[in-house]
A = this chain, B = another copy of it.
Amino acid sequence: MEISNSISNELTLKETAKFLKKHDNFVILTHSSPDGDTLGAGYALFYGLKEIGKIAAVICADVIPKKYDYFVHETDNIDESKATVIAVDVATKELLGSLCENFGDKVDLCIDHHISNSKFAKNLYLDASASATCEIIFELLELMNVNINSGAASAIYTGIATDTGCFKYSNVTAKTHIIASKLFEYDIDPAEINKIMFDTKSRKLLELERMVLDTAEYHFDNKCILLAVTAEMQQQTGCSGSDLEGIAVISRSVEGVIAGISIKQTGDEEFKISLRTYPPLDASAIAKSIGGGGHKAAAGATVCGTLKEVKKMVLDAVKTNMEESDAGISSHK
């Protein structure tokens, strides 16, 4: 019997450092629809490897949003076929997007913090207790005694800040804050980074939010809010894709609400549902019952039908979970 190549060889941080020192030419892959953590980790690793004389290129399947320009840098041109391939913050090879075809089965090392990592890479350094992959990259560069330049420090701060909602979420640990305090010693501007990442909204997004708030429906004694983004709203405002991520955030922030539903139209009769719940509700159970999946507090599904049908389907699923979990007698503060 052959050993499946979908089981990674798990490395320690020290072995990961040794691995990087041993090789000279690297392709660093980020996940598609790139966020602050995958880009921060990719570029921080790039800057670190350059400091010790290596050749490296950062590659992403999608266009990198301009807001990351302050740390995104031109990387090296290399012969990809001869390079050592590293994936950062990539939990499954499918998340490489269009790079999956070329690189999916050729990743030599994956550095990640997702407990759900599918172990698709030959070698894996996984620390699920890290708030962000950037936390790991910082520790790695520190362990390797590599000079952290201001680009690397900005990139690492960005990844940690974006994956923790600026130190707001439950994935933050004492170590996260210790690393942040050390990053302040470098030439970075955290307040400016946070302004770009958290406090800058496009005018079109503000307009979309206004429209979405107009659609707000409350259900089940106001314990559930439902927000909808129709194709028409997307056309009218010019918002799409990652512009729409903030809508789910609104749905989870209303006082007394334990089930936040946001519905985004993705096709003629196709909708993407995002669920955000608080105990005792279970977003993953609700999502599963309509063909999706996810975590206990955040899950999603893609469903077909008219908006009216889709609303009914998800509201029925929420109601069932409320009844099963006795949510009628409990609610979050």
By a beta-carbon cutoff of 8 Å, the part of chain A in contact with chain B is 165-170, 172-178, 180-182, 184-185, 190-191, 194-196, 198-203, 206-207, 209-210, 213-214, 216, 218, 222, 249-250, 252-256, 333
Contacts and interface: CB of A to CB of B under 8 A. Distances in A.
B175 A181 contact: yes
Nearest to A205: B255
B166 A174 contact: no
B216 A213 contact: no
Contact of A172 (B174, B191, B203, B216): B191
Quickly give the copy total for this chain.
2
A291 B168 CA distance: 38
Given A175-B181, A177-B177, A181-B177, A168 B170 contact: no
Given A206-B216, A213-B209, A201 B170 contact: no
A201 B254 contact: yes
A284 to B, nearest CB: 19
Nearest to A182: B174
A6 B49 CA distance: 59
Given A201-B253, A210-B213, A252-B199, A174 B184 contact: yes
A180 B168 CA distance: 12
Contacts of A180: 167, 177
A196 to B, nearest CB: 6
A193 B190 CA distance: 22
Contacts of A195: 168
A180 B190 CA distance: 16
